[in-house]
Amino acid sequence: MDNNTINDIANRLQDIKRDREELNEASEISQSDIQASDMKRIKTLEKLFNASFEGFHEGGHGSIVDMNSKKPFHSVNRTQASEWQAISKAIKKLKIRWIEISGSRVSVGLESINEYDY
């Protein structure tokens, strides 16, 4: 490949980078705008994970609930079977798609059950 071709590719990549729109997979919904049925799910998740609500996001792939655990999971050496059973039972009922735990941060992906303007 000659230098002109390489420079042309580099310039085009710069143009794409400069002109691209930021990808926003989900928009934050303020707590006052969260519908009652979603708040009920959030309260259940808070109890299930012994956590406090931090944020709610809605997007094309569903809802995301962010929480702060009152007992960081990185400090726990053992989780009781009863806790896992409670989470397992809640998966279908709450329409949980995924769970991510990182230290004291707990994020839960849910199927959307309401529509929001975002």
Q: Decide if 85 is inside a domain.
A: yes
Q: Decide if 9 is inside a domain.
A: no
Rounded Cα distance between 53 and 3, Å, is 55
Q: Decide if 19 is inside a domain.
A: no
Q: Decide if 4 is inside a domain.
A: no
pTM (2 decimals)?
0.71
Q: Decide if 16 is inside a domain.
A: no
Q: Decide if 52 is inside a domain.
A: yes
Q: Decide if 58 is inside a domain.
A: yes
Residue type, 114: N
Q: C-alpha dihedral over 65, 71, 75, 76, to 10 degrees?
A: -90
Q: What is the pLDDT of residues 75-87, one digit of tens each?
A: 555 667 888 888 8
Give the count of domains, the chain.
Answer: 1
Q: What is the pLDDT of residues 20-57, one digit of tens each?
A: 555 456 788 999 999 999 999 999 999 998 899 999 99
Higher confidence at residue 33 or residue 60? 33
Enclosing domain of residue 92 = 26-110
Q: Decide if 117 is inside a domain.
A: no
- Per mean pLDDT, which range of 42-51, 59-68, 72-81, 103-112 is the poorest? 72-81
Q: C-alpha dihedral over 2, 4, 7, 8, to 10 degrees?
A: -120
